[in-house]
Structure 1
Amino acid sequence: MSPTFSALAVRNYRIYATGALVSNVGTWLQNTAQAWLVLQLTGSGAALGFVVALQLLPSLLFSPLAGLLADRVAKRRLLGWMQVAMALPSAALGVLAILGVAEPWHAYVLAFVFGTARAFEAPARQSFVSEMVDAEQLSNAVALNSASFNSGRLIGPGLAGLLIAALGSGVEATGWVILANALSYGFVLVALLLMDPSGLHPAPLAERHRGAVREGVRYVAGRPDLVLLFTCVFFLGAFGMNFQITSALMATDVFGKGAGEFGILGSILAIGSLAGALLAARRPKPRLRFIVGAGLTFALAQIASGLMPTYATYAAVLPLVGLSVLTTITTANALIQLTSAPSMRGRVVSLYLMVFLGSSPLGAPLIGYIGEHLGARWALVISGVIAGAGVAVAGLAYAKIRKVTLRSLVLRA
């Protein structure tokens, strides 16, 4: 088997990856449909930023507790319950939209409920990878998970846009697409049931004692490499990865396009993201230099995208945006999985997700506000400048600790 897909030789991982791929497509169906639903109901970029923030806010609030739960409870069982918990609010929003009674506050409340379930599911899902494959295949499996997620991003937005357009482009159309995501969680449940427990390598469950969350924070704070990683991911999450907002506003306000063209932008972005994940799968060892270098490349690409004069040229830049950001995120995830102590992995992953996903609620309303009042182009340019500055400062601080230059850190670290 090709080195790019070596982890798929493991039966349990292969079964899990199949169910996850279907669910990832469903996730991006809902992300696209929910964004279109909010725009249909409100016509407001700020409202779109608000619903994205509410969906990601639970990651900021609950991730440390979710990570502790992932260290204390069997991850396979926890993942099963969380699939049900995510399906319910998706189904509720879909039904409300289909019946034509959906209101903005429904989307806000259910986005928060859905985000809460996802906040508790994510640390278990991320750290469960190490229980399915050996250490030699872990980096490859992490990269393939990113490839699966971005295959969903490649297929989901375009398919959602086409389905919404085919069903009339209205509120009811978005409901059917959102409902499809609720059904997709059943594929992960089936995959978990089909796995062979004897082929898993469960990590020892953490003991119950006071201060366990603080213990995880101290562990991260004592690792300068993890501090650099977390800082870069924070700036990219808060000021760079608000694609649902920026692409929606660029498609509608700047280029005057509809649901189909908006969905296609998400799929084009995913082409670069998928390429970045597959390239990461071929690298035997993740390195910090990829995080800093790719983070700076992403910032420049984000700024460039905001300056593109036409829909076609804007779309042409998006693969580079996706490639650079996925190189950063996939490398960060793999480094955490490979270098964290097994008994701490759930908590470290949860803190990482708190920074990565929880940073978006801090940036999304600001990006939405800038997009609504100054225009989508300024939202992209300003967010790219802030993201690039944050990565550069973090890299300089780490280089000072290691007594090297930022150039040597990016090129040779």
Structure 2
Amino acid sequence: MPILGEIANNLILPLRLRNFRVFFIGQSFSLLGTWIFVTAQRWLLYDLTNSAFFLGILGAIGSLPILLFSIPAGYLADHLPKRNLLLLSQSVAALQAGILTFLVVSGRVEVWHILSLAFLLGCTVALEFPVRHSFIFDLVGEDSLVTAISLHSTAFNLARFLGPAIAGFLMAHFGLWTCFLANTLSYLPIIFALAIIPLSENHKGVSKKPWEGLKDGFIFVLNSRQIRRILLLIATTSIFVLPYAVLLPAVVRENFGGGGKEFSFLMAANGLGTLTGAIFMAAFGRNIPKDRFIPANMALLCIYLGGMILSKKFYLACVLLIMSGFHMVCMFTSANAFLQLNSPDDLRGRILSLFSLSFLGLFPLGSFWAGTTAQYFGPKWTLLAGLTIALVLSIWQGLIPSLKKAENR
């Protein structure tokens, strides 16, 4: 079948490139270890404190470095060898994982250890995100970029599925410490992969003071309506839409009278949607025009999430969360590729740092807004208000360019 052959060819095109193939395999092991770690880390902290408050503190501390350091990390990505920066970030992440493993095995772990190491890990994520995604561009080029990003997203969401299950098995049969050891060992493949990938000469030496270099990135964004538009959509989604995951337990209890079992089922449904979306983008995303595809997926994400929040039928809510996860991944994957393809080579890292800031860095602010507002108006109306804001913006940003094109004909 010709169409199936074309899909298969699209999927394997980046994997034919030796350097990307090596990087992808190593990164897949690292992602799996990360999700094993996240599951065990949260359980360890809760076991030590018996406090949901500290779980919130853990999330905030882990995300704070992304808010603080994403933009400087983008500057480094544009001026220093990306492979070396990734080697540094992965080595530091492996070190913190090893320290936590030792503390757990020796029985000396305390709450401040977990929080301090979470901040250190957040610093490595802040450095790694813009560097890693611009490094993927260097490995595959423009033609295979969307597929490569989608394959990376597929590995991420597959690890999101498998990691907690593996962590549960390890905790039940071998003890909590084995989860942290598994995470420590999971960094070895990506460190080895990066070490054998030849150092690229595509980086530009530091020729300006850091502030001047950062200013160049901001000026480019301010002068590019399309880049500004995409970053605005991503930031709005991060603040007003993504906090649904934080308030989902409350929605489960209010709408369905459910508990942990129902919550886990809904999260699994959402994860299935994100995995399906990543596979779809890997197969078809290369040929999709992204300027209107991004706001269209944002609008559909808001509509399906709104339906889930209003639904009183549990299995309908599961289907709606599958669809929500699908469109969420389509939106973010397309936005990532769009920003990279429309950025100059010497500014790509700085543009991706703004994407990281808009996507990951603003999420804690959205969670704080949602949690505070939900105390006064309830989780359902808080989420619906945020979804309405995002839906109006997505329609406006998706419709206005079409109207301008029609006027110019």
TM-score normalized by the length of structure 1:
0.83
The whole-number CA distance in structure 2 between the counterparts of 1:35 and 1:297 is 32
Q: Secondary structure at the match of 2:260?
A: coil
Q: Do the aligned partners of residues 295 and 212 (structure 1) sit closer, same or farther apart at CA in structure 2, a change above 3 Å counting?
A: same
Structure 1 residue corresponding to 2:55, chosen from 33, 48, 55: 48
Confirm or deny that 1:69 pairs with 2:69: no
Confirm or deny that 1:298 pairs with 2:301: yes
Matched to 1:217, the amino acid is F
Give the total of aligned pairs.
Answer: 394
Confirm or deny that 1:215 pairs with 2:216: yes
The whole-number CA distance in structure 2 between the counterparts of 1:306 and 1:94 is 40
In structure 2, what is the equivalent of residue 382 of structure 1?
A: 382
The whole-number CA distance in structure 2 between the counterparts of 1:317 and 1:161 is 27
Confirm or deny that 1:185 pairs with 2:162: no
Displacement of 1:304 in angstroms is: 3.5
* Gap runs ≥5 in structure 2: 1-7
In structure 2, what is the equivalent of residue 393 of structure 1?
A: 393
In structure 2, what is the equivalent of residue 255 of structure 1?
A: 258
Conserved? CA contact 2:241–2:387, under 8 Å: yes
Greater C-alpha radius of gyration: 2
Matched to 2:226, the amino acid is D
The whole-number CA distance in structure 1 between the counterparts of 2:98 and 2:66 is 21
Q: For structure 1, which segment, 386-395 or 73-82, has the greater mean C-alpha deviation from structure 2 after superposition?
A: 386-395
Conserved? CA contact 2:298–2:394, under 8 Å: no
In structure 2, what is the equivalent of residue 404 of structure 1?
A: 403
**What's the RMSD between the two structures over aligned residues?**
3.2
Confirm or deny that 1:225 pairs with 2:232: no
The whole-number CA distance in structure 1 between the counterparts of 2:70 and 2:213 is 13
Matched to 1:357, the amino acid is L
Structure 2 residue corresponding to 1:22, chosen from 22, 26, 29: 29
Conserved? CA contact 1:150–1:274, under 8 Å: yes
Conserved? CA contact 1:35–1:244, under 8 Å: no
Q: For structure 1, which segment, 80-89 or 334-343, has the greater mean C-alpha deviation from structure 2 after superposition?
A: 80-89
Q: Do the aligned partners of residues 230 and 265 (structure 1) sit closer, same or farther apart at CA in structure 2, a change above 3 Å counting?
A: same
Q: Secondary structure at the match of 1:340?
A: coil
* Gap runs ≥5 in structure 1: 409-413
In structure 2, what is the equivalent of residue 280 of structure 1?
A: 281
Confirm or deny that 1:119 pairs with 2:94: no
Q: Secondary structure at the match of 1:2?
A: helix
CA shift digits 1:243-269 (9 cap, x unpaired): 7644666789963337xx866655443
Q: For structure 1, which segment, 69-78 or 316-325, has the greater mean C-alpha deviation from structure 2 after superposition?
A: 316-325
TM-score normalized by the length of structure 2:
0.84
The whole-number CA distance in structure 2 between the counterparts of 1:26 and 1:262 is 23
Q: For structure 1, which segment, 16-25 or 1-10, has the greater mean C-alpha deviation from structure 2 after superposition?
A: 1-10
Structure 2 residue corresponding to 1:154, chosen from 148, 161, 181: 161
Structure 2 residue corresponding to 1:352, chosen from 348, 352, 355: 355
In structure 2, what is the equivalent of residue 343 of structure 1?
A: 346
The whole-number CA distance in structure 2 between the counterparts of 1:204 and 1:134 is 17
Displacement of 1:384 in angstroms is: 5.1
In structure 2, what is the equivalent of residue 411 of structure 1?
A: none
In structure 1, what is the equivalent of residue 3 of structure 2?
A: none
In structure 2, what is the equivalent of residue 334 of structure 1?
A: 337
Q: Secondary structure at the match of 1:136?
A: coil
Q: Do the aligned partners of residues 187 and 52 (structure 1) sit closer, same or farther apart at CA in structure 2, a change above 3 Å counting?
A: same
Confirm or deny that 1:35 pairs with 2:38: no
Displacement of 1:158 in angstroms is: 3.0
The whole-number CA distance in structure 2 between the counterparts of 1:91 and 1:310 is 45
Q: Do the aligned partners of residues 300 and 47 (structure 1) sit closer, same or farther apart at CA in structure 2, a change above 3 Å counting?
A: farther
Conserved? CA contact 1:286–1:334, under 8 Å: no
Conserved? CA contact 1:63–1:350, under 8 Å: yes
Q: For structure 1, which segment, 270-279 or 71-80, has the greater mean C-alpha deviation from structure 2 after superposition?
A: 270-279
Conserved? CA contact 1:139–1:285, under 8 Å: no
Conserved? CA contact 2:146–2:333, under 8 Å: no
Matched to 1:273, the amino acid is T
Conserved? CA contact 2:32–2:160, under 8 Å: yes
Conserved? CA contact 1:272–1:323, under 8 Å: yes
